[in-house]
A and B are shown apart, each in its own frame.
Chain A
């Protein structure tokens, strides 16, 4: 490794520094595995529930947990990508409802065949997502305001087109989408797995992941580096809208009813899972594996507490508590990121007084690790 080669007298002399430094580096490594703490918590509650309920640690129950998490998961994959790039999508819940309403209308009122109704419904979600994306990425509108408007407007449009009539009975072929089982796995779980695998590939194996992180952490730097800072988040918005519509379709299939209410609160559940997974609310830091841990944490908690006959209120309290813990950990991670690297170029600490007279010392951070100064510059 390069690190070992680089060790010389200067590095040795630095070992005279306080010993406690070592702990900070260990902590930072933990922080680097974002959501690492959540994985530990996930294993912890799983062990707890398996002792408390014989039904918990069964294949059937595991399938149930995944099934209950799949819609949240499908929407959370593009959601995490948006959040890490410094954007967010609050319209997904209403878009799921709009998708249900659109599908019912396409299929039963216009008499469009099932397959085309599904395609058109996904297109409705994609189009709404494109609108969000253009306003946020190209017009630089606030993502919170734009998608909050979508949250309100999409729900209104859904009510308007259904005229508050819920459509029922879409036939056995459509029921497969939400209730079908292929190769022993429920269809929604298969869809979620596919979405996650594609998302994880894009995040970790293509430049997309680091580009999104770059846009979230330092948009100017990403732009100067040639990252498509407007196009990329815009595409993710389209995917987010499409995923929300897909979630709405799966729910409609499960209920065999196209209710405009189905997506209620989905946007906040998605946001909760992503934030639990360690994606920074302001973007620039996070991982998709952490998001998966967040999704499963919520799924396991809800499932386990139901199995041991503790009401859903306790689950809500636990999720709230975990989120508060995540907020505290977020601050800790931010501090750890500012700890200077091990082997400095020459001197880690520089005295400004040494610099001969000019008037722009504010542009670059003087002391190692204080990234704020230069980010703001």
Chain B
């Protein structure tokens, strides 16, 4: 086992109870939040805003997938 595998096992376990819990469900954030996430993906945020966004996404893991899509689109 390694840490990556451990996290996947635990995530899959928690997902049985709620798919939103670990951020696999896709839900678009409100426009204001989407704009902040878009700025994050463009590299236009400082450490403080990055920290605030991380806290926000911890509370709303359903928006993590939106962020991931934006990061991949950027690449």
Q: Decide whether A and B assemble into one complex.
A: no
**B residues apposed to A, CB below 8 Å:** none
**A residues apposed to B, CB below 8 Å:** none
